[in-house]
Chain A
Amino acid sequence: MGQGEFLRIRHEQPHAPGAVGSVWERLRGFLPTLSEVKAYLFLSPLLILFFVFLILPVIASLALAFMQWSIGGVEPNRWVGLANYVRLADDWRFWTALRVTLAYTMAMVVIPYSVALPLALLMNMKIRGRDVFRTILFLPVVTPVAAAGLVFVFLFNTEIGVVNAALIELRLVEQPVSWLGNANTAFFATIVMIVWSQAGFNAVTLLSGLQTITQDILESAALAGASGWSMFRYITLPLLRPTSAVVLSTSLVGAVRMFAEIFVMTQGGPARATATLGLYLHEVGFKYWQLGYATAISTVILVLCQIANLVSARAGRVDWR
């Protein structure tokens, strides 16, 4: 038995129900028991790392955002209050980045899911070789971003890229398309790459979710008269909601934080057409080394991520009908 119990038994006196023990006992109750000390010892390595490399940075970012801080800059680091945020409000590049981020967010919530759901449904139907399909569809997810980026840049290359070659060969276009040279097409090209690298994850996850919808459920629904579209809409889809919520929320939060895929393909070009907040942050922070200002941007990203998380948590609970 623990310390607390031992003490209580030693000092046991008849109490009226609800009466309070001695001050000493209550004080004693605040101290950790042996078991608790042990538990925290087991937890401490992870907790320490967590604190230093996650909690501390987040707290620091709240402070840094109110400072003007640079590395190797001429001016000394100093507190500037809300100046960084005021500057953000006036910064057309920031607003452009925000707009671009929202565009990517909308695309990345809708497209990967819309592609992945039919895929998952298809894979759920066919039994033979399903594992093989699943594995291949998942390969893009485990591919290094840098390698994938290089390949796609080359695929979309204007002069010697295979996409243009195929389009011209199929007589869909007459001139080679400058994919990465135009704002809209660059956006499209990056979306293609992102969907390619993420749809597999969505599809495989949705597939697992689908497989929890057992045969019994479907057969009893069929007996109750459901079939085809109504079966899908009233049985499958609602039962899939938790998994869908996870998939969509991952896409949503990932979209707000998007950096690597776009960086390796376009570095935010052309003319900021693909410059998300993440890319703008990188530019301000690591090209111009204005860390205070860049931290202000990262707090905006943090807030957006939090909003995204809350939205998807809420949506996961809402009745879709």
Chain B
Amino acid sequence: MEIGQTVPAGRGGVLGGFRNFVVGIILIVIVLVTSFPFFWMVSTSLKSLREVNMFPPPVLPAVPQFENYVTAFTRAPLFKYGLNSTIICLSVMALTCSLALSAGYALVFLEFRGKKLIFQMLLAPQIVAGVAVLLPLFVVLKTLGLLNNRLALILPYTVMYSPFAVFLLRGYLGSVPKELAESARVDGAGDLKILVQIILPLVRPALAAIALFCFIWSWNEFLFSLIFVQAPELRTVSVGIAFLSSLPNFPRETNIILAAASAVTVPVLLLFVLMQRQFIGGITAGAVK
């Protein structure tokens, strides 16, 4: 058996079994190293103040201090941050899915001039994102009076995630047989009806994947939510956590801070684990030609 070859069934043998074992061990070690920060985050969040400041630090708290989480939630308005983030994430999900579907339908099922150009334009922006566009986007948002409004995040996020959404949908839509749309059209159905009643059900997996990315990436996003929304009551969860560390008690009160961080991270990790197949499938579909 060579590198790069998947283990064929039934060709194990003694040496094969040993190789599997070694590979398994290596992977387990890597996995342990990768998950160590998560473990440490949760473990520290349950430690007492004394244990946090001990050196060398204990691996596990003697008695898990669940009240740290209560303290975290009273110390910072985490519920409000969570609500803000949720509203933004759900809006981005809904907006991106519908706009990408609408645009994807036009790109795949309708004929029009400039299709290639539009398509290239919609897929290009991977480059123009993040810090590079931060300032001018800030100016545009300010001019539109959208700063300190959740829209200041919802709309740019939608724009950021749409190229990938359109790319994904285009693949899915391409595999929908055109005869389906044509026969519906012959029956007198308008485009909107075709889109909603015939096509939409067929692309549900793609939409699910898109909705998932939008939610997770919007929840985790840091830069724009730091700059575009300065009002404390509109802050997202991501920025709220970061602000906690600017308190004078960091790192001494790291247990409380990491309790807040865990409270914010674990939900999205769970969401990912539940839907990981759709998520990873979607991402790699975009990357692997």
Contacts and interface: CB of A to CB of B under 8 A. Distances in A.
Contacts of B140: 52-53, 56-57, 60
Contacts of A40: 106, 112
Contacts of A191: none
A54 interface: yes
A199 B54 CA distance: 32
B8 A46 contact: no
B132 A302 contact: yes
Contact of B105 (A42, A129, A155): A42
Contacts of B159: 49-50, 53-54
A146 to B, nearest CB: 4
Nearest to B102: A42
Interface string A204-226: 11001111110100100010000
Interface in A20-44: 32-33, 35-36, 38-40, 42-43
B15 interface: no
Interface stretch (B24-32, B63-71, B174-182, B201-209): B24-32
A104 interface: no
Contact of B54 (A160, A260, A286): A160
Interface in A141-161: 142-155, 157, 159-161
B61 interface: no
Interface residues of B, number: 104
B162 A46 contact: yes
A36 B113 contact: yes
B44 A154 contact: yes
B31 A142 contact: no
Contact of A45 (B3, B5, B99, B112): B99
B237 interface: yes
Contacts, number: 324
B232 interface: no
B130 interface: yes
Given A39-B111, A60-B140, A157 B3 contact: no
A125 B5 contact: yes
B40 A142 contact: no
Interface in A136-191: 136-140, 142-155, 157, 159-162, 164-165, 168-169
A281 B37 contact: no
Interface in B248-289: 251, 254, 257-258, 261-262, 264-265, 268-269, 272-273, 276-277, 279-280, 283-284, 287-289
Interface in B4-57: 4-8, 19-20, 23-24, 26-27, 30-31, 34-35, 37-38, 40-41, 44, 52-57
A142 B220 contact: yes
B273 A135 contact: yes
Interface in A223-253: 227-229, 231-232, 235-236, 242-243, 246-247, 250, 253
Interface of B: 1-8, 19-20, 23-24, 26-27, 30-31, 34-35, 37-38, 40-41, 44, 52-57, 98-100, 102-103, 105-107, 110-113, 115, 118, 121-122, 125-140, 142, 144, 155-156, 158-159, 162, 166, 191, 216, 219-220, 222-223, 227, 237-239, 241-242, 244-245, 251, 254, 257-258, 261-262, 264-265, 268-269, 272-273, 276-277, 279-280, 283-284, 287-289
6 contacts: A58-B128, A126-B20, A144-B238, A144-B265, A155-B37, A208-B287
